[in-house]
Structure 1
Amino acid sequence: MESKAGLVSKIKGNRILFNLLKIFGMLLLVSVILYLGLGLYFSTHEDKMKKDLTALVNEKISGEIKIGDLDVSLFQGFPSLTIQVKDVIVKDSLWNIHKRTLLKAGKVYAKVSPWAILSKSITVDNLTIENATVDIYVDDNGYSNVSVFSKLKDKKPDEKKKSTLDVGIDNIRFTAVTFISENHIKKKNFNFKTSDLKVLISHNDQGWNATIDVKTFVNSMTFNTLKGSFAKNKIIEGEINAVYNSSKKQIGIYSKELEIGGNPFEVKATFGASKTNSLFNITLFTSSVQWKEASSLLSDNIQSKLNKFDLLKPIDARCEIKGNMKVKGNPSIHVIANVKDNELIAKRGIIRNCTFTGEFINSYVKNNGFGDPNTAIFLHDFKGDYNEIPFTTKDFKVFNLKKPVVSGLVKTNFDVGKLNSVFNKDALHFLKGKADVSVQFKANVVDLNISKPFITGFVNVDKADFTYGPRNFNIKNCNLKLEFTPDKLNVRAFDFETQSSKFHMKGYAGNFMNLYYDNPEKIVLNCDINCPQIDLSEFIYLLSSKKQGKSEKNAKGKGSSGFLERTISSSNLALNLNIDKLIYKKFTGTNTVAKIAISNDNIIIQKVAIQKGRGNVNIEGEVKHNSKTDHFNLKVKVAKVDIRDLLYSFDNFGSATITHRNITGIIDLNTHLNGIIADNGGLAKNSLKGDLQFNLRNGAFIDFKPIENVGKKVFPKRNFKKVTFENINGDFKINNGRVYISPMKINNSVLNFDLSGVYAFQSGTDLNIEVYLRNPENDKGITNAKILKAKRDAGLSVHFKAVDGPDGKVKMQVRSLKAK
């Protein structure tokens, strides 16, 4: 059982607790009575408070404030009082001119300390503004509606207050508030629609700190109305820390993760907050953002150019915007993006496995303004694969986005077979080989595509095999060394083989890059070519019409091949050739020296000198190409050439009667011929025209049917199998498949005869042959030319007519017998 002393002690303790509770209750009752009294006071003095509040504001502004209802709630924010003001409007003195209301708020309410009222000050625990618009406006003359606060600047320190209240605010919340700042002079326009903005402020000796929770929609964040808005139509959401330094007159802002358009950014910024300091510096960083998302945060003029490209994977990016809110024009913009193992999508194709650091700056030249003319884009250490062709670039730069110019160094080394993905296979098809390229380039940029690059550097191709499709032309073992200089293209070496030809070439083209883009038809590639062997049959197709249809249609699909085809077709060649062995069909010549000019529509043969056996052939003239045929106009001089070799080499010039099998001798020949070259490289039927003079000596007719036929009829005992002669001179005109033979005297070992008329390659032969019956054997001992001529024409002669027979062969007809 509990002792008596313990019980007494317990009773005394309970009495003390009871008394303390009585005292606390009395104090609480007094507080409640006082609070209710204050509430009653506020409720009965709302008009006075509204009057004091209006006076407080009006004494600080130069303009007009209107306040609707003012309500005081005793218990809504207990223990604080909640004061609510509706329909607040603040206008400057010139509102009737510009119609821009500085503040229009549907509802403003605050939680205040009721006890602070007694000391003639209001300590605001929370200030909330709902359904409001803050519209700051500067017109073309520099006037601003914020001049409504001009009294704050003009007020003297000792000026007596008209109001009886002072206000301090530490917690602010904006709900459905639109902030507008439009400056016509500086061409700046900011428009934010905030659904929720909370500001918690704490003051200190250096100024104040604030924590801001924000969710706002960006209608416009325009530093230059001519260029467009940053972050347009984006939502900004997150927590921001702000610090105001009163000595520096500067606000600093930081957010570790601020969502802009759904992408998290780290944000650092400073803003000058005085008359002498209006500088701002905004830095945004994100570790992962899509290219199009990042570009959509920039102004329209920048965005329109960046959106020509896209990157498949996210990138990290940093953007710094610096400027002066009081200065007209663009701010400084500096963007750096890191791209690694990504895919760059452009108008002309996709660059895979690309890695680079991209940099954008709109103030490349210091003190030269901010904008497109002073803008530069850098792609540092760019590398990637274009159509499976790996390449790297250094010092890649784009200057002046108003009239863009790009420059850089490109290097690549690859199997030439990869070029099949670039060129249409009907234009160029590569089989094997290696390519090594290093070129420094500078070019205009049109619609962000490189246009007309001027390049210096080299292109080397080693042991390549490829087909030039439009000409069905196969090249193998190609070794090419090209050097591009500012003033010309040097072909240091171009060695290749075809099926029957081998080439070793060097050359140059002056003013190559200028002409390549604007006037490819004026490019002249001067070449010195040495050939161990060349077969012209492989190249005669260069004269024929291009293949139409599929090849050219597909070439349009791939611009590079189509453009290359047009350039090759349009360019000119000036060739100096030395050929050890020259072959054309059955013709074979040696030690050939040639000087030939080839252009888009003709070939000018300035000189061709060919050794043919113990003689030589010299050619000059022109081959002219048109849409359907190739016309040639040639002068040919033949000296001391075996007639059989000459006839064999050119398929007897189409003759079925006089061939290499039935005539021998050494011929000198001068001719001027023109005609048409068929697609197979031969002569088009009946196209040959011109004149021919020849001298044939020390020869023979062997089994020559026209002479045999005459002999059988007139001299059956003489041997016409082989008829020898010392000298035959002839003068022919050739036209439409016929040879017009001027009268000529032919003396041989069996008979003498005169010949004239028409010999046709196909049909239409009409020859007059006057055969003298006197046997030439009888005159062998006569050396006097006059006597020999007189005896030749003396005696009987038989007149023959050589005409086409029913079977198409030439038939001999006896017309008359006469004596002289």
Structure 2
Amino acid sequence: MPKWLKITLKIAGAFVGLIIILFIALTVYVNYNKQKVLAMITSELNKNLNGTLTIGTINPTLFKGFPGVSVELKDVVLKDNRWAQHHHTLLTAKDFEVSVNASALLKGEVVINKIDISNADIDLFTDSTGYSNTAIFKAKPKVEKDPKEKQTNSSTQIKRFSLNKVNFIVDDRHAYKLFKFAVNDIQGHMDYPAKGWNADIDLNTMANSFSFNTKKGSFMKNRLLKGHFDISYDDDSQIINLAPNTLNIGDNPFTVGAQFNLKSPQTDFTINLKVDDILWNDAANLLAVNITKSLKMFDLKKPIDVTCDLKGSFGGGGDPSIYVTAKVKNNILKTQGGTIENCSFNGVFSNNYINGKGLSDDNSVIKLYHFNGYYKDIPFTIDTAFINNLNTPVATGIFRSRFPVTKLNPVIGDESLKFTKGVADLKLAYKADIVNFKFTKPFVTGNVDIKNADVEYLPRGLVFKNNSIALKFTEKDLYINNIRLQNGSSIVYMQGKVSNFLNLYYTDPEKILIVWQITSPQIRLGEFLGFLNNRGYESSAGHVGSGKKMSNAKITSQLNTAFDKGQAELHLRLAKVYYKKFLATDVNADILLADNTMKMRNVSLKSSGGTLNLSGLVLQGPTNNFAISTTINNVNTNTFFASFNNFGLKDFTSDNLRGFLSARVDIKGGIKNTGDLVPKSIKGFAQVSLKDGALVNFAPIKSVGKFAFPFRDLDNITFGDLKARFDLDGDKIKIAPMQINSSVLNMDVEGTYSLSRGTNIALDVPLRNPKNDSKIEDETERNKKRMKGIVLHILATDGDDGKIKIKWNKNHKKTKQDDDDQKTDDKQQTPEPAQD
């Protein structure tokens, strides 16, 4: 070994030995002068306090703070001057270990190199007036320093520190803030560059409360925080900066960075958090209760990326500015209204929706950008969706979708409409209240276009082919345009309007009134007989509407109520209308449909060469009851009777009658869902006027003529104006006394005609030939002569074979006219010869 190295080692060994001897000496000194040293430390620390610091005992710890002197303090208590008023002790530490600079201690100075605090409570309290127990620390006077003076470490510099099992509380009742941490372990190291300081900290603590506003609740409540922080402070800017590092909050690793501005009076701060792959619920649960409640309106099955920026101050009241972003891609979104598959969007939450209106729930917003997904297999996009004002949340956005209308069937349920073909194109701006986390009463504006659609209206068993419809929603009204409906060979074009649609739809759907303008080149009513079906009874499609609970959303129930109980006002202008053998042209009608009721007004049409005007009422049920008032003008009787299947008459048909009919008919009765009349249901009356009439091959007259008028032409009996009244009662038709003046014979008719059994018609038929009566110009004379001569009194009744039987009317009562005619005949003694 070289001589110089031996000398160097000896000197170093001597130096180390000297230090050890000095350290032992200092330790012995402190140990034998505990009270003196304790009094010196306490006195030194209390110089800068507006309060009291008490230390139970002091013990030096050999070598632990080498080359300094370590002192272990027991039962350290730090109280401010107002402790008796608020009873919040700033510091209570059972174990407080301080490592001080040895050389400074010999000079009577205290320079702290390390502090270890264990089993302690730190309570930073601010009362409602703004007073804080941290006022215990006196502010140091500013002293101008000589720039040339060498900077040395201050006695307030702490090189290292640790906290173990420490409860740390910041309770600010003036600003409604509460931060509570149960520190398991904190290890820190500090160094001091030219300006400020740097710190490396390892953190392991439980966040029991992180409330910027105790009225709203805590962030990160009851979450374990574990991680490393690199912290720096600059004297000039007076900003504490936390470099971004990984901090585990609960089970999720966040990247956390922050800044704290000590220069601002309220200590402004900015905290930035970022996490990849966190579940929506886990992210929502880290926020304050008022925000969590709103975000839990939704849930996402797969993890998402989230960032959160908090900006605020530790002084003063109110919430910090909160800005949360979330990136969602190909996820499954669950809402109170249903599940959205393959969902993607960029989400934002902010409590500063409109600048200047404060940081509050009232000014909060949830924004969803480029929202797209599939709801019940229906694709849709929303450019931007907003939910603002968390106190009374309102959702707004623009909804777009294009899809086959068959995809609507699972949405609207199985009781109203069933689509089998077609395409729907939607663009709707919506606004909806959110009550109990559910979207309610969405108000929409925009357009819905459906083209080339086949749809079945299940309650009525109606099928419409190749249809189109355009819906336009305004703020108040609904316009239904460009509708083309085809059912069989019937084609209908419709334009409609519903005033105050959405208000009524949600509050009183039965009060909805839709006004239709309907035109058609031709309609076959037989293809629309489903409208006679009463909801609640089985339709032709085999669907039952009564008592079946809807399995879909409330909107489906409202839709059915609107369909079933809403009112429809129809204004029809139809070129041709067919019903079985009946054909009408130029049909105009005003019809009101309301609650299984059909009211017909101003109905006019052309048929059988004449016109018909009608008004009436149909009450739908198992049997449809109707009441109709009709005026018929100058219709061809042959065609008219044939069109209506002879109105149920069997012995008197369109083949038996010629002429032009005018009538007034008031009847009521029942009609089946097939369109057939209910037997024996018709009641009412008909007043009939027939011009240029002829009775052709009418069997009852011909059967009488076989023996009474064998030489007269009974196959074609012409007659002048015929007026009659018929009273209808079930299957009975009561014929009021009626005079028939014809080319073959005159006749007085009165009685009852029955469609089943009970026919009893009295016919008084004079045998004289009346063919020349038309030459008598005096009407009074002509009327006297019409019943001259021999008069046959005949009775038409039911026969055993079900056909009408003709016999003598033995119960004929003679009138005064009969007696006068008989006396005249007796005087003449010779009857007027027959002019056959």
- Give me the TM-score of the superposition, normalised by structure 2: 0.88
**Structure 1 residues 30 and 645: alpha-carbon distance in aligned structure 2, compared to 1, 3 A threshold:** same
**Structure 1 residues 90 and 807: alpha-carbon distance in aligned structure 2, compared to 1, 3 A threshold:** farther
* 1:125 Cα offset (Å): 4.2
* 1:126 Cα offset (Å): 3.4
Aligned equivalents of 2:54, 2:707: Cα separation in 1: 140
Match of 1:738 in 2: 732
* 1:325 Cα offset (Å): 2.0
SS at match of 2:414: coil
Aligned equivalents of 1:454, 1:22: Cα separation in 2: 94
* 1:575 Cα offset (Å): 2.8
Structure 1 residue 306 corresponds to structure 2 residue 295? yes
**Does the aligned pair in 2 maintain the 1:257–1:264 contact within 8 Å?**
yes
**Does the aligned pair in 2 maintain the 1:427–1:551 contact within 8 Å?**
no
What is the aligned counterpart of 2:136 among 114, 129, 148? 148
Aligned equivalents of 1:470, 1:20: Cα separation in 2: 110
SS at match of 1:47: helix
Structure 1 residue 47 corresponds to structure 2 residue 35? yes
**Structure 1 residues 329 and 808: alpha-carbon distance in aligned structure 2, compared to 1, 3 A threshold:** farther
* 1:589 Cα offset (Å): 1.3
What is the aligned counterpart of 1:545 among 507, 517, 534? 534
Match of 2:829 in 1: none
Match of 1:128 in 2: 116
Aligned equivalents of 2:75, 2:646: Cα separation in 1: 113
Structure 1 residue 71 corresponds to structure 2 residue 65? no
What is the aligned counterpart of 2:572 among 577, 581, 587? 577
Aligned equivalents of 1:270, 1:16: Cα separation in 2: 55
SS at match of 2:344: strand
Structure 1 residue 648 corresponds to structure 2 residue 642? yes
Aligned equivalents of 2:29, 2:396: Cα separation in 1: 79
**Does the aligned pair in 1 maintain the 2:180–2:209 contact within 8 Å?**
yes
* 1:29 Cα offset (Å): 4.1
- For 1:688, the aligned partner's letter is I
Match of 1:609 in 2: 604
**Structure 1 residues 679 and 431: alpha-carbon distance in aligned structure 2, compared to 1, 3 A threshold:** same
Residue by residue, what CA displacement relative to the aligned partner does 1:745-795 show, whole Å, maximum 9, x if unpaired? 123444433222333334444433333333445757656544443232123
Q: How does 1:656-735 map to 2 (within 5 A)?
A: 656-711=650-705, 723-735=717-729
Aligned equivalents of 1:275, 1:708: Cα separation in 2: 121
* 1:21 Cα offset (Å): 5.7
* 1:277 Cα offset (Å): 4.8
Residue by residue, what CA displacement relative to the aligned partner does 1:139-175 show, whole Å, maximum 9, x if unpaired? 22333222333x4469999xxxxxxx95642111111
* 1:302 Cα offset (Å): 0.9
* 1:521 Cα offset (Å): 4.2
Match of 2:746 in 1: 752
- For 2:209, the aligned partner's letter is S
What is the aligned counterpart of 1:591 among 583, 586, 589? 586
Match of 1:241 in 2: 230
- For 1:573, the aligned partner's letter is A
Match of 2:488 in 1: 499
* 1:546 Cα offset (Å): 0.5
**Does the aligned pair in 1 maintain the 2:343–2:371 contact within 8 Å?**
yes
* 1:92 Cα offset (Å): 2.7
**Structure 1 residues 687 and 54: alpha-carbon distance in aligned structure 2, compared to 1, 3 A threshold:** farther
- For 1:104, the aligned partner's letter is T
* 1:377 Cα offset (Å): 2.2
* 1:312 Cα offset (Å): 2.0
Aligned equivalents of 2:249, 2:732: Cα separation in 1: 90
**Does the aligned pair in 2 maintain the 1:310–1:344 contact within 8 Å?**
yes
Name stretches of at least 5 consecutive residues in structure 2 with no aligned partner: 145-153, 538-543, 822-836
SS at match of 1:422: helix
Residue by residue, what CA displacement relative to the aligned partner does 1:674-701 show, whole Å, maximum 9, x if unpaired? 3333333333333322221011233444
Residue by residue, what CA displacement relative to the aligned partner does 1:178-206 show, whole Å, maximum 9, x if unpaired? 11112222111111112111221111222
**More moved, 78-87 vs 418-427:** 78-87
**Structure 1 residues 443 and 275: alpha-carbon distance in aligned structure 2, compared to 1, 3 A threshold:** closer
Residue by residue, what CA displacement relative to the aligned partner does 1:588-624 show, whole Å, maximum 9, x if unpaired? 2122222333334533322222211311211123334
Aligned equivalents of 2:502, 2:52: Cα separation in 1: 71
Match of 1:7 in 2: none
Match of 1:557 in 2: 552
**More moved, 293-302 vs 375-384:** 375-384
Match of 1:93 in 2: 81
Task: Give aligned pairs, total.
Answer: 799
Match of 1:405 in 2: 394
Aligned equivalents of 2:11, 2:42: Cα separation in 1: 42
SS at match of 2:215: coil
Structure 1 residue 337 corresponds to structure 2 residue 332? no
* 1:227 Cα offset (Å): 1.1
- For 1:438, the aligned partner's letter is K
What is the aligned counterpart of 1:363 among 344, 352, 365? 352
- For 1:618, the aligned partner's letter is N
Aligned equivalents of 2:545, 2:326: Cα separation in 1: 44
Match of 1:463 in 2: 452
What is the aligned counterpart of 1:434 among 405, 423, 426? 423
Match of 1:264 in 2: 253
* 1:666 Cα offset (Å): 2.3
**Does the aligned pair in 2 maintain the 1:422–1:560 contact within 8 Å?**
no
SS at match of 2:451: strand
Match of 1:290 in 2: 279
Q: How much identity, in percent, do the aligned residues show?
A: 35
**More moved, 712-721 vs 486-495:** 712-721
Aligned equivalents of 1:60, 1:737: Cα separation in 2: 118
Aligned equivalents of 1:695, 1:782: Cα separation in 2: 23
Aligned equivalents of 2:375, 2:562: Cα separation in 1: 23
Residue by residue, what CA displacement relative to the aligned partner does 1:69-96 show, whole Å, maximum 9, x if unpaired? 3222214555554422222222233333
Aligned equivalents of 2:672, 2:705: Cα separation in 1: 39
**Structure 1 residues 746 and 142: alpha-carbon distance in aligned structure 2, compared to 1, 3 A threshold:** same
**Does the aligned pair in 2 maintain the 1:381–1:394 contact within 8 Å?**
yes
Aligned equivalents of 2:451, 2:31: Cα separation in 1: 99
Aligned equivalents of 1:537, 1:703: Cα separation in 2: 32
**Does the aligned pair in 2 maintain the 1:91–1:103 contact within 8 Å?**
yes
* 1:727 Cα offset (Å): 3.5
**Does the aligned pair in 2 maintain the 1:443–1:450 contact within 8 Å?**
yes
**More moved, 757-766 vs 96-105:** 757-766
SS at match of 2:429: strand
Q: What's the C-alpha RMSD, in Å, of the aligned pairs?
A: 3.0
- For 1:289, the aligned partner's letter is I
Q: How does 1:418-429 map to 2 (within 5 A)?
A: 418-429=407-418
* 1:258 Cα offset (Å): 1.3
* 1:238 Cα offset (Å): 0.6
Match of 1:161 in 2: none
**More moved, 417-426 vs 698-707:** 698-707
Aligned equivalents of 1:203, 1:779: Cα separation in 2: 142
SS at match of 2:459: helix
* 1:711 Cα offset (Å): 4.4
